[in-house]
Structure 1
Amino acid sequence: MKKIITTIAIFAALITGSQAQDKVNVNQGFWVIENNINLPKVQTVKFYSADKRLMYEETVYTKLNLKKKKTLVALNQILDKLNERTAYIESRNLVTLSLNLKH
């Protein structure tokens, strides 16, 4: 009986603690954050088009917190701006500037 109650309690905690990822519109493209175990504060943010071509890449020297809505919104806005542009991107610090990160 004790095992059943414990199992039910764990299962209920897992269900309530889970969070689904927002739906991604692949027609617009997507972004990926890559990091290295040896350098945890150095991350590379890559933005891809709908046909999986790399549009933009930037290395940031701080850990991005993907649990913050501000970070997700900023990355999605950059992706939208990149999709609107057809010319070469002049700024090489789009992520750093939009999230007010230190260089």
Structure 2
Amino acid sequence: MKKLIITICILAFAVTAGLAQNKITNVRGFWVIEHNVNLPRVQTIKFYNDNNKLIYEETVYSKLNIKKQKTRLALDQILDRLNERTAYVESKNLVTLSLNLRN
């Protein structure tokens, strides 16, 4: 009886862990932050669509910490707004305004 209970617990754990890994996200496109080692305060954020086509690019003159949830969420929201548009957006400082950065 003890073996049966242990086997059921192990199977339940394996099924639960397998389901957690199959989380499907509905991400359209991606963003990349590029920086130079010699100029750490100058960063370029590039937004791409699903076809790896550049849809927006902005240079920011302050250091972005992408480890912060707030920064990643703001960049994801900008990406969602840019995906709703069809043409390339001219520089309107979307990142600077969204993150309240000083220029």
Q: Same fold (TM over 0.5)?
A: yes
Equivalenced residue count is 81
Contact 1:26 1:50 in 2 (8 A): no
1:100 aligned partner: 100
Query: What is the deviation of 1:89?
Result: 2.7
State the 4+ residue runs in structure 1 displaced beyond 3 angstroms.
23-27
Which blocks of at least 5 consecutive residues in structure 1 are unaligned? 1-22
Query: Which one-letter code corresponds to 2:38 in the other structure?
Result: N
Query: Which one-letter code corresponds to 2:41 in the other structure?
Result: K
Query: Which one-letter code corresponds to 2:72 in the other structure?
Result: L
In angstroms, what is the RMSD of aligned CA positions?
A: 2.1
Which blocks of at least 5 consecutive residues in structure 2 are unaligned? 1-22
Structure 2: how far apart are the matches of 1:89 and 1:34?
Answer: 19
Structure 1: how far apart are the matches of 2:24 and 2:45?
Answer: 17
Q: Deviations over 1:27-80 (max 9, x none)?
A: 610000000000001000000010000000000000000111110000000000
Q: Percent identity among equivalent residues? A: 68
1:14 aligned partner: none
TM-score, normalization by structure 1: 0.71
Query: What is the deviation of 1:90?
Result: 5.2
